[in-house]
Amino acid sequence: MTGSLSPKWTGLACLVALVFFPWFATPFWIVQIGAQTMILGIIALSLVWLAGYGGMVSMAQLVTAGLASYVVAYFGVQSDPALGFRLPWGLNIVLAIAAGTAFGIAVGLIAVRCFGIYMIMITLAIAVGFFYLARQNMGFFNAYNGFHGIRAPTLLGLSLRDPIPFYYLCLLCGISLFGFVVAAARTPLGLALQGIRDNPRRMQSLGYNVAVHRVVAFGIAGFIAAIGGVLRVWYAGSVSPGSVGVGSSISILMIAILGGMTHPIGAFVGALLFNLIQNFAIDFIDRERFNTMIGIILLAIILFMPSGLVGLVDRLRQDDRRGDRPPRQTAPNASQQSPKIKEGNHP
Amino acid sequence: MPVSTVKSQTDDVPALALASVGRRFGALVALQDVTLTLRHGERRAIIGANGAGKTTLFNTVTGDFPPTSGRILLAGRDITKMPPQARTRLGLRRTYQTPLLLDQLTVRDNFYVAVRGIRGGRLQLWRGADAGADEQEVLRLAELTGVLPLLGRRAVEISHGERRQVEIAMALAGTPDVLLLDEPAAGLSPGDRGTLTALLRSLPSSITIVLIEHDMDVALGFAEFVTVMHNGRVFCEGLPAAIAADQRVHEIYMGHRHG
Ligand SMILES: Nc1ncnc2c1ncn2[C@@H]1O[C@H](COP(=O)(O)OP(=O)(O)O)[C@@H](O)[C@H]1O
Ligand SMILES: [Mg+2]
């Protein structure tokens, strides 16, 4: 046993690298790559929580984050004095996160009775609806123009919009939410959610209200996405219908698929990869080809490693151990009599 | 809601009572006019050919497919319209003809989920002060059914016989009042079958057990009273010896044995 790729040491190495990374990096790397990866990763994390643990693929996570962004803009400092309210920034953030959580619950209430592809469709419809609403509504969304000049606050004399403090803020949020999701997976709620993913009917007969659990999971996903939305609007300095377009919603799904949904780390791995491609592919292919390339990479991942990069690493690690571990038994014991064919249990 | 309130009922309230229960699936009448009464602690077997409506009967009682007519009382309480989870919290448990487990979770987590399902705090984002008690209950279930070595395995990895044992253990979480077992011996090796019968016999007499069993010998050996079903109706009821001797039962039942 070499100990290479052991999750504990890999995790620690990553953590050290993430913490010391700004010492060596240029502002471009710190903000465009570092902070933005964390922000995209947080929004994708909300999807991985729902999809990986709950078996529910939601296309509405980016607009949930978008709503939080709009709340930050409308109730905070931005460039047009004729618009919105200027609440103290602490209250503003609380409001934004509460709005995102409530929106998540609302999406859950709508989507919870649908399964599989129908849930994807209904949440996609919500995302598209949100985009058009943002484009047409003057009162809250300021239609086409959106809001500009939004700035992260200054905290104890530390300006959170400077590259290094902003990076650490994003890193702190990313790591905390990642830790939260990992820990939540082992609690009664998290295990019940995974049980519902595996077999909702079974969970009912074990005493669980499946619909309530699903809605609560959507609420938690909304909370995570909303934090991502607050950071995202601070990062961009503006929010407009372009920030909540369908393309961006699909990007979040791509990130989750790239990284893999079997573990929350997949959200951040996927975000990093997506972000690197987005920033550097432009150097050698033109803008129009970018989507084609992302599409091809996505296709390759779905075809050759359905559980994303995280799944690939898992597989490599298992290969690494083979030899001093018995192979995992996967098929039911073939020597047993097979169960009766006639079955009234499955509708 | 404490599960034990049901146990404190007097003996003359049946543990489970069905009054003219029926269930249709579209045009198909799967269950018709079924009336049953089970006393507390009774061991009842339900036998009948394939398609007789035995599993459908369980489904109406548990609410997986609620009845389309009639009423169901659990310890005197009308549960006809309750959702499945509410019935479970009132002390009703079941197993499925094909074991249904939470496949990607470990056996330990399957047990934990079963224990919490009864105990409450199902939406908690923390394990809570009684985490130790939960863990003890998980171990008790594993020991009772002899699956301690399986605790760390994922449910999808274990054999068919092991799945049966795990499912029965899950149904025993928090000690049920009424336990419905749908062909628990089906597909088991003779050895496993013996272990299962021994386990069933060892269960506390406070549990009312209804057993659907295709194997007449197992059914008649376990039960104090037998209900025979045929074409969605109760065909006849009686003591095991009388049922075993009944020629009509042999005609409808044995004739279809390998249906
Ligand atoms: N969910 C369902 N949908 C449609 N028909 C069903 C369903 N469940 C059972 N049935 C039908 O009801 C009848 C009784 O089935 P079942 O209760 O499974 O019989 P048993 O358990 O006695 O073998 C069968 O004809 C079966 O096809
Ligand atoms: Mg059946």
Q: Give, using CA atoms, the residue closest to atom 16 of ligand 1.
A: B53
Q: Is residue A284 part of a domain?
A: yes
Residue contact A340–B214, C-beta within 8 A: yes
- 3-class DSSP string for A17-66: HHHHHHHHCCHHHHHHHHHHHHHHHHHHHHHHHHHHHHCCCCCCHHHHHH
Tell me which residue has its CA closest to atom 21 in ligand 1.
B55
User: Domain for residue A336, yes or no?
Assistant: no
pLDDT at residue B231, as a whole number: 93
A152 located within any domain: yes
Query: What tens digit of pLDDT does each residue of B163-184 get?
Result: 999 999 999 998 899 999 999 9
Indicate if ligand 1 lies below 6 Å from the C-beta of B55: yes
Q: What is the mean pLDDT of residues B80-103?
A: 96
Q: Is the pLDDT of residue A114 over 60?
A: yes
pLDDT of A176 higher than 90 = yes
What are the b/e assignments for A231-258, b being 16+ CB within 10 Å?
Answer: bbbbbbbbbbbebbbeebbbbbbbbbbb
pLDDT at residue A288, rounded to an integer: 72
Tell me, what CATH number does A270's domain have?
Answer: 1.10.3470
Do A187 and B125 lie within an 8 Å CB cutoff? yes
> Would the CB atoms of B83 and A209 count as touching at under 8 Å?
yes
Q: Does the CB of A81 have a partner CB in chain B at under 8 Å?
A: no
Examine residue A52 and state whether it is found in any structural domain, yes or no: yes
Q: Which residue has the higher pLDDT, B210 or A87?
A: B210
A199 token code pair: 């077999």
Q: A26, A334 in Cβ contact below 8 A?
A: no
Closest CA to A124 of A294, A295, A293, A252: A252
Q: Provide the 3-class DSSP secondary structure of residue B141.
A: helix
pLDDT band at residue B6 using 50, 70 and 90 as cut-offs: very low
Domains of chain B in sequence order: 1-91+177-259 (3.40.50.300), 98-175 (no CATH)
Chain B positions touching A52 (Cβ under 8 A) are none
CA distances from B27 to A114, A301, B21, B23, B30 (A): 26, 47, 17, 10, 9
Q: Is residue A332 part of a domain?
A: no
User: Is the beta carbon of B54 within 6 A of some atom in ligand 1?
Assistant: yes
**Domain range for residue A128?**
17-315
A258-268 confidence digits (pLDDT tens): 999 999 999 99
How many domains does chain A fold into? 1
Average pLDDT over residues A103-126: 93
User: What's residue B254's pLDDT?
Assistant: 57
pLDDT of residue B10: 55
> Does a structural domain hold residue A10?
no
Instruction: Report pTM.
Output: 0.89
- What are the tens digits of pLDDT across the range A74-100? 999 888 888 888 889 999 999 999 999
Q: Is B25 in the pocket of ligand 1 (CB under 6 A)?
A: yes
pLDDT > 80? residue A324: no
Q: What is the mean pLDDT of chain B?
A: 90
Say if A21 falls within a structural domain.
Answer: yes
Complex confidence, ipTM? 0.90
Q: What is the pLDDT of residues A34-55, one digit of tens each?
A: 999 999 999 999 999 999 999 9
A7 domain-assigned: no
More confident residue, A78 or A219: A219
Cβ atoms of residues A67 and A192 within 8 Å: no
